[in-house]
Amino acid sequence: MSFKVIKRSPDSKARLGLLKTFHGEIETPAFMPVGTQATVKSLSPDDLINCGAQIILSNTYHLYLRPGHELIRDFGGLHKFMSWDLPILTDSGGFQVYSLAPLSKIKEGGVEFRSHIDGSSHFFSPEKVIYIQECLGSDIMMCLDVCLPYPSREEEVSWAVELTTRWGRRSLEARTRNELLLFAIIQGGMYKKWREKSAIDLLSYDFDGYAIGGLSVGEPKEVMLSVIDYTRPMIPDKYPVYVMGVGTPEDLVECVARGVDMFDCVLPTRNARNGMLFTSFGKLVIKNACYKNDPRPIDPDCDCYTCRNFSRAYLRHLYVSRELLAYRLNTIHNIYYFLNLVKQMRQAIKDGNFEKFRQSFYKRRES
């Protein structure tokens, strides 16, 4: 197996793991910065490494449309194209089909869609999605799946589960590069019986890992955590478990406590560009006038490049002046915060005191 559990928390379901990929090992729990179009917005590969990134996520749909998977293949793959030597996970495009629903039509054979760039027509089959990801050279490939909005009727969910399973089997059969890992995506909406059906059927194919998909689609937080509560135990511990598109710092802490290993989310980069920064004591909106003369760093307890070198006053000046450096410095801080958060959780699991860390995390925010 490419994954092994190193240590388990004695006071929760949190676990420390090691995932081996073609481009290196990943300590879990792990957060993957989102580099949709072969770039984490405003950051260089060196910035990401200095922030502690072990792996990044890119997007099959977007790279297929621009610049094209075969062009990237001819450059030696995505790693060489973007000068990133560490692991890359690529999502399948299933979420883009969901988010761009007016431009797409789902059939048994795959998805017909129109480009959001120029309106041109395209078709994704499960086999084509695997071919694209093998051209990219993704260390971890994702199967094409059917993601539904919240709420969805049960008949829609049952259809999506069955089709996702058939597409998963076809994806596995289409794989030609066995050195690249392939994860299946468990769907089922907010219905426990359909989550169980999806998990049982996909587990029968013994993929390299399993993702819990179909979350962060508008459902209340308590519903999301409930789905994870009953879905995570369905997946045997020998597999890495990835919750897609999640989430806030609180989400990461709660999901790790439930035994989740991998995460991705656009929040740190998107919020950075909007001037909202994550700290150990909560959120900080840097454009607020109260920071105009503030000499302190964003977070006195943060050791990122931004906090070591710049004041809140300077960062506010950059942001309200719309200087490009604002986006880079804010993004460095937010990415570092997320990566350091999972690093702290790994250390807490290693030390056997994850629950103590969890309580301290919330207590700091309350104070």
Give the active site residues.
91, 264
Backbone torsions φ then ψ of 38, nearest 5 degrees? 65, 30
Question: 194 to each of 53, 199, 202, 234, 319, how far by Cα in Å?
Answer: 35, 8, 12, 12, 46
Residue 116 is encoded by which pair of tokens? 């959001």
Nearest to 229 by CA among 258, 193, 264: 258
Residue showing tokens 């197996």: 1
Backbone torsions φ then ψ of 6, nearest 5 degrees? -90, -40
User: CA–CA separation, 80 vs 70, rounded Å?
Assistant: 13
> Checking DSSP bridges between strand 262-264 and strand 30-32, what pairing results, if any?
parallel
